Chain A
Amino acid sequence: MPKRVVVIHGPNLNMLGKREIGIYGGKSMDDINGEVAAEAKHLNVTVEFYQSNSEGELVTLIQGCRDAADGILLNAGAYTHYSIALRDAIAASQVPTVEVHISNIYKRESFRHTSLIAPVCIGQICGFGSQGYVLALRALMEEKLDPWLP
Protein backbone atom coordinates (compact mmCIF):
# COMPACT_ATOMS: atom_id res chain seq x y z
CA MET A 1 0.00 0.00 0.00
CA PRO A 2 1.45 3.39 -0.91
CA LYS A 3 2.06 5.79 1.93
CA ARG A 4 -0.48 8.53 2.39
CA VAL A 5 0.80 12.05 3.01
CA VAL A 6 -1.38 15.02 3.80
CA VAL A 7 -0.19 18.49 2.77
CA ILE A 8 -1.71 21.29 4.82
CA HIS A 9 -1.36 24.96 3.98
CA GLY A 10 -2.27 27.46 6.67
CA PRO A 11 -3.50 31.04 6.63
CA ASN A 12 -2.79 33.34 3.68
CA LEU A 13 -1.10 30.63 1.66
CA ASN A 14 -4.08 30.73 -0.70
CA MET A 15 -2.72 34.17 -1.61
CA LEU A 16 0.65 32.81 -2.79
CA GLY A 17 1.78 34.31 -6.06
CA LYS A 18 -0.31 37.39 -5.38
CA ARG A 19 1.04 38.76 -2.11
CA GLU A 20 4.51 39.95 -1.18
CA ILE A 21 6.13 38.19 -4.10
CA GLY A 22 9.55 39.44 -2.99
CA ILE A 23 9.27 37.24 0.10
CA TYR A 24 7.10 34.35 -1.02
CA GLY A 25 7.87 34.11 -4.75
CA GLY A 26 5.61 34.18 -7.77
CA LYS A 27 4.30 30.62 -7.59
CA SER A 28 0.72 29.99 -6.60
CA MET A 29 -0.37 27.35 -4.11
CA ASP A 30 -1.65 25.27 -7.01
CA ASP A 31 1.77 25.50 -8.69
CA ILE A 32 3.37 24.20 -5.51
CA ASN A 33 0.80 21.44 -5.11
CA GLY A 34 1.52 20.43 -8.70
CA GLU A 35 5.24 20.09 -7.94
CA VAL A 36 4.53 18.05 -4.81
CA ALA A 37 2.09 15.82 -6.70
CA ALA A 38 4.71 15.16 -9.38
CA GLU A 39 7.30 14.18 -6.76
CA ALA A 40 4.71 12.03 -4.95
CA LYS A 41 4.06 10.15 -8.17
CA HIS A 42 7.77 9.62 -8.56
CA LEU A 43 8.03 8.33 -4.97
CA ASN A 44 4.85 6.26 -5.27
CA VAL A 45 2.98 7.95 -2.41
CA THR A 46 -0.50 9.39 -2.40
CA VAL A 47 -0.88 13.03 -1.40
CA GLU A 48 -3.87 15.11 -0.48
CA PHE A 49 -3.91 18.89 -0.28
CA TYR A 50 -5.76 21.18 2.07
CA GLN A 51 -5.68 24.86 2.84
CA SER A 52 -7.45 26.74 5.58
CA ASN A 53 -7.26 30.22 7.00
CA SER A 54 -8.96 29.10 10.17
CA GLU A 55 -6.96 27.77 13.09
CA GLY A 56 -9.84 25.59 14.25
CA GLU A 57 -10.20 23.96 10.85
CA LEU A 58 -6.49 23.23 10.80
CA VAL A 59 -6.79 21.60 14.23
CA THR A 60 -9.65 19.42 12.96
CA LEU A 61 -7.70 18.51 9.81
CA ILE A 62 -4.62 17.48 11.81
CA GLN A 63 -6.72 15.50 14.28
CA GLY A 64 -8.23 13.65 11.34
CA CYS A 65 -4.79 12.48 10.25
CA ARG A 66 -4.41 10.22 13.28
CA ASP A 67 -4.32 6.57 12.16
CA ALA A 68 -5.21 7.81 8.68
CA ALA A 69 -2.00 9.37 7.35
CA ASP A 70 1.65 8.32 7.30
CA GLY A 71 2.95 11.86 7.27
CA ILE A 72 1.96 15.50 7.31
CA LEU A 73 3.63 18.38 5.49
CA LEU A 74 2.56 21.48 7.31
CA ASN A 75 3.10 25.11 6.47
CA ALA A 76 1.19 26.67 9.31
CA GLY A 77 1.92 30.21 8.15
CA ALA A 78 1.85 32.76 10.94
CA TYR A 79 0.08 30.29 13.29
CA THR A 80 3.51 28.64 13.55
CA HIS A 81 4.62 31.37 15.87
CA TYR A 82 1.76 31.45 18.35
CA SER A 83 -0.72 28.60 18.05
CA ILE A 84 -0.44 26.26 21.00
CA ALA A 85 -3.64 24.60 19.72
CA LEU A 86 -1.88 23.54 16.52
CA ARG A 87 1.08 22.26 18.51
CA ASP A 88 -1.23 20.16 20.67
CA ALA A 89 -3.07 18.84 17.61
CA ILE A 90 0.19 17.72 15.98
CA ALA A 91 1.36 15.99 19.14
CA ALA A 92 -2.04 14.31 19.55
CA SER A 93 -2.11 13.10 15.96
CA GLN A 94 1.06 11.02 16.46
CA VAL A 95 1.76 11.44 12.76
CA PRO A 96 5.33 12.36 11.69
CA THR A 97 5.03 16.00 10.68
CA VAL A 98 7.49 18.15 8.78
CA GLU A 99 7.31 21.90 9.23
CA VAL A 100 7.82 23.84 6.01
CA HIS A 101 8.26 27.53 5.34
CA ILE A 102 8.71 29.16 1.98
CA SER A 103 10.92 31.95 3.30
CA ASN A 104 13.86 31.76 5.69
CA ILE A 105 11.99 32.78 8.84
CA TYR A 106 15.29 33.49 10.62
CA LYS A 107 16.08 36.31 8.22
CA ARG A 108 12.84 38.08 9.07
CA GLU A 109 11.12 39.76 12.04
CA SER A 110 12.11 38.38 15.44
CA PHE A 111 8.55 37.19 16.16
CA ARG A 112 9.02 34.71 13.32
CA HIS A 113 12.17 33.20 14.84
CA THR A 114 10.25 31.05 17.28
CA SER A 115 8.13 28.16 16.13
CA LEU A 116 5.79 26.64 18.67
CA ILE A 117 5.19 23.64 16.46
CA ALA A 118 8.85 22.77 15.75
CA PRO A 119 9.36 20.78 18.97
CA VAL A 120 6.55 18.37 18.05
CA CYS A 121 7.57 18.03 14.41
CA ILE A 122 10.29 15.66 13.23
CA GLY A 123 12.08 18.49 11.51
CA GLN A 124 11.96 21.83 9.79
CA ILE A 125 12.76 23.01 6.26
CA CYS A 126 12.70 26.70 5.48
CA GLY A 127 14.00 29.14 2.91
CA PHE A 128 13.77 27.13 -0.31
CA GLY A 129 10.47 28.33 -1.75
CA SER A 130 8.33 25.66 -3.37
CA GLN A 131 11.30 23.30 -3.34
CA GLY A 132 10.98 23.08 0.44
CA TYR A 133 7.77 21.10 0.09
CA VAL A 134 9.36 18.63 -2.31
CA LEU A 135 12.35 18.20 0.03
CA ALA A 136 9.96 17.70 2.95
CA LEU A 137 8.15 14.95 1.11
CA ARG A 138 11.47 13.20 0.45
CA ALA A 139 12.37 13.63 4.11
CA LEU A 140 9.16 11.87 5.13
CA MET A 141 10.01 8.95 2.90
CA GLU A 142 13.15 8.19 4.90
CA GLU A 143 12.53 4.76 6.32
CA LYS A 144 14.13 5.23 9.66
CA LEU A 145 13.40 8.61 11.16
CA ASP A 146 12.77 7.21 14.62
CA PRO A 147 16.20 7.87 16.17
CA TRP A 148 15.63 11.57 15.65
CA LEU A 149 12.08 11.86 16.84
CA PRO A 150 11.67 14.21 19.79
Chain B
Amino acid sequence: MSSRKFLVISGPNLNLLGTRKTSIYGQGSLEDIHQGLRQRAAELDVSVECEQHNSEGEIVESLQNAPGVFEGIVINAGALAHYSYVLRSAIGATLLPCVEVFISNVHAREDFRHQSVIAPVCVGVIGGFGKKSYILALEALVNLSKS
Protein backbone atom coordinates (compact mmCIF):
# COMPACT_ATOMS: atom_id res chain seq x y z
CA MET B 1 0.00 0.00 0.00
CA SER B 2 1.28 3.40 -0.98
CA SER B 3 1.95 5.98 1.68
CA ARG B 4 0.52 8.72 -0.50
CA LYS B 5 -2.80 9.68 0.98
CA PHE B 6 -5.45 12.05 -0.34
CA LEU B 7 -8.50 13.41 1.41
CA VAL B 8 -11.86 13.69 -0.36
CA ILE B 9 -14.45 15.89 1.32
CA SER B 10 -18.07 16.26 0.26
CA GLY B 11 -20.17 18.96 1.82
CA PRO B 12 -23.82 19.45 2.75
CA ASN B 13 -26.57 17.48 1.02
CA LEU B 14 -24.15 15.32 -0.93
CA ASN B 15 -25.21 12.41 1.28
CA LEU B 16 -28.52 12.68 -0.61
CA LEU B 17 -26.98 11.97 -4.01
CA GLY B 18 -29.07 9.60 -6.04
CA THR B 19 -32.20 10.49 -4.09
CA ARG B 20 -32.74 14.17 -4.96
CA LYS B 21 -32.81 16.13 -8.19
CA THR B 22 -31.39 13.23 -10.15
CA SER B 23 -31.78 15.19 -13.39
CA ILE B 24 -29.11 17.56 -12.10
CA TYR B 25 -26.98 15.35 -9.89
CA GLY B 26 -27.38 11.95 -11.56
CA GLN B 27 -28.53 8.59 -10.25
CA GLY B 28 -25.42 7.41 -8.47
CA SER B 29 -25.05 7.63 -4.71
CA LEU B 30 -22.15 9.21 -2.85
CA GLU B 31 -21.05 5.71 -1.89
CA ASP B 32 -20.83 4.88 -5.61
CA ILE B 33 -18.54 7.88 -6.02
CA HIS B 34 -16.42 6.80 -3.06
CA GLN B 35 -16.10 3.29 -4.47
CA GLY B 36 -15.05 4.68 -7.84
CA LEU B 37 -12.46 6.85 -6.12
CA ARG B 38 -11.04 3.97 -4.09
CA GLN B 39 -10.74 1.87 -7.22
CA ARG B 40 -8.99 4.63 -9.18
CA ALA B 41 -6.75 5.37 -6.19
CA ALA B 42 -5.64 1.73 -6.10
CA GLU B 43 -4.81 1.89 -9.82
CA LEU B 44 -2.77 5.04 -9.20
CA ASP B 45 -1.06 3.40 -6.21
CA VAL B 46 -2.33 5.94 -3.71
CA SER B 47 -5.01 5.82 -1.05
CA VAL B 48 -8.03 8.03 -0.42
CA GLU B 49 -10.08 8.79 2.63
CA CYS B 50 -13.60 9.90 1.76
CA GLU B 51 -15.72 11.97 4.12
CA GLN B 52 -19.05 13.74 3.99
CA HIS B 53 -20.22 16.45 6.36
CA ASN B 54 -23.35 18.55 6.42
CA SER B 55 -21.79 20.79 9.02
CA GLU B 56 -19.44 23.55 7.98
CA GLY B 57 -17.56 23.34 11.29
CA GLU B 58 -16.84 19.64 10.80
CA ILE B 59 -15.33 20.33 7.39
CA VAL B 60 -13.13 23.03 8.92
CA GLU B 61 -11.88 20.57 11.55
CA SER B 62 -11.22 17.95 8.94
CA LEU B 63 -9.22 20.47 6.87
CA GLN B 64 -7.28 21.61 9.94
CA ASN B 65 -6.27 18.02 10.66
CA ALA B 66 -5.20 17.28 7.08
CA PRO B 67 -1.63 18.65 6.98
CA GLY B 68 0.96 16.02 7.75
CA VAL B 69 -1.52 13.25 6.99
CA PHE B 70 -2.64 13.96 3.44
CA GLU B 71 -0.80 15.13 0.35
CA GLY B 72 -3.75 16.87 -1.21
CA ILE B 73 -7.46 17.43 -0.97
CA VAL B 74 -10.43 17.03 -3.30
CA ILE B 75 -13.37 19.09 -2.11
CA ASN B 76 -16.95 19.33 -3.26
CA ALA B 77 -18.19 21.95 -0.83
CA GLY B 78 -21.72 21.87 -2.23
CA ALA B 79 -23.58 25.11 -1.63
CA LEU B 80 -20.91 26.23 0.89
CA ALA B 81 -18.63 26.85 -2.11
CA HIS B 82 -20.61 29.97 -2.87
CA TYR B 83 -20.46 31.70 0.49
CA SER B 84 -18.28 30.03 3.11
CA TYR B 85 -15.31 32.29 3.85
CA VAL B 86 -14.57 29.99 6.76
CA LEU B 87 -13.90 27.14 4.34
CA ARG B 88 -11.80 29.42 2.18
CA SER B 89 -9.63 30.33 5.16
CA ALA B 90 -9.38 26.73 6.30
CA ILE B 91 -8.32 25.53 2.84
CA GLY B 92 -5.72 28.28 2.60
CA ALA B 93 -4.39 27.39 6.04
CA THR B 94 -3.73 23.76 5.09
CA LEU B 95 -1.08 24.86 2.57
CA LEU B 96 -2.00 21.66 0.72
CA PRO B 97 -2.99 21.49 -2.96
CA CYS B 98 -6.76 21.43 -3.08
CA VAL B 99 -8.98 20.78 -6.11
CA GLU B 100 -12.54 22.03 -6.16
CA VAL B 101 -15.07 19.75 -7.82
CA PHE B 102 -18.71 20.04 -8.79
CA ILE B 103 -20.96 17.32 -10.08
CA SER B 104 -23.15 19.65 -12.10
CA ASN B 105 -22.12 22.53 -14.33
CA VAL B 106 -22.68 25.32 -11.82
CA HIS B 107 -22.37 27.93 -14.56
CA ALA B 108 -25.46 26.60 -16.28
CA ARG B 109 -27.51 27.04 -13.09
CA GLU B 110 -28.70 29.88 -10.84
CA ASP B 111 -26.60 33.06 -10.70
CA PHE B 112 -25.67 32.55 -7.06
CA ARG B 113 -23.86 29.34 -8.02
CA HIS B 114 -21.62 31.06 -10.53
CA GLN B 115 -19.25 32.29 -7.91
CA SER B 116 -17.07 30.14 -5.71
CA VAL B 117 -15.33 31.77 -2.79
CA ILE B 118 -13.01 28.79 -2.40
CA ALA B 119 -11.81 28.58 -6.04
CA PRO B 120 -9.12 31.25 -5.57
CA VAL B 121 -7.39 29.19 -2.86
CA CYS B 122 -7.61 25.96 -4.85
CA VAL B 123 -5.16 24.79 -7.50
CA GLY B 124 -7.98 24.45 -9.96
CA VAL B 125 -11.60 23.61 -10.55
CA ILE B 126 -13.29 20.67 -12.28
CA GLY B 127 -17.04 20.77 -12.71
CA GLY B 128 -19.86 19.40 -14.80
CA PHE B 129 -18.81 15.81 -15.35
CA GLY B 130 -20.91 14.04 -12.77
CA LYS B 131 -19.14 11.43 -10.69
CA LYS B 132 -16.25 11.65 -13.12
CA SER B 133 -15.45 15.14 -11.77
CA TYR B 134 -14.14 13.52 -8.59
CA ILE B 135 -12.07 10.93 -10.45
CA LEU B 136 -10.51 13.57 -12.71
CA ALA B 137 -9.73 15.70 -9.65
CA LEU B 138 -7.93 12.82 -7.99
CA GLU B 139 -5.93 12.18 -11.17
CA ALA B 140 -5.05 15.86 -11.37
CA LEU B 141 -3.87 15.94 -7.75
CA VAL B 142 -1.83 12.76 -7.95
CA ASN B 143 -0.01 14.02 -11.05
CA LEU B 144 0.39 17.46 -9.58
CA SER B 145 2.19 16.35 -6.49
CA LYS B 146 4.26 13.90 -8.53
CA SER B 147 5.68 16.66 -10.74
Q: Which residues of A contact B (CB under 8 A)?
A: 98, 104, 106-107, 113-115, 118-128, 131-132, 135, 138-139, 142, 144-145, 147-150
Contacts and interface: CB of A to CB of B under 8 A. Distances in A.
B59 to A, nearest CB: 19
Interface string B111-145: 00011100110111111111011001001100110
B107 A124 contact: yes
A148 B123 contact: no
A45 B124 CA distance: 26
Given A113-B115, A118-B108, A139-B136, A148 B122 contact: no
Interface in B59-116: 99, 103-105, 107-108, 114-116
Nearest to A115: B107
A131 B144 contact: yes
B122 A127 contact: yes
Using C-beta atoms within 8 Å of the partner chain, give the interface range for chain B. Answer: 20 to 34
A113 B104 CA distance: 18
B105 A126 contact: no
B44 interface: no
A150 B125 contact: no
Nearest to B141: A128
Interface of B: 22-27, 99, 103-105, 107-108, 114-116, 119-120, 122-130, 132-133, 136, 139-140, 143-144
A17 B147 CA distance: 18
A148 B136 CA distance: 16
A127 B123 contact: yes
B119 A106 contact: yes
Nearest to A147: B26
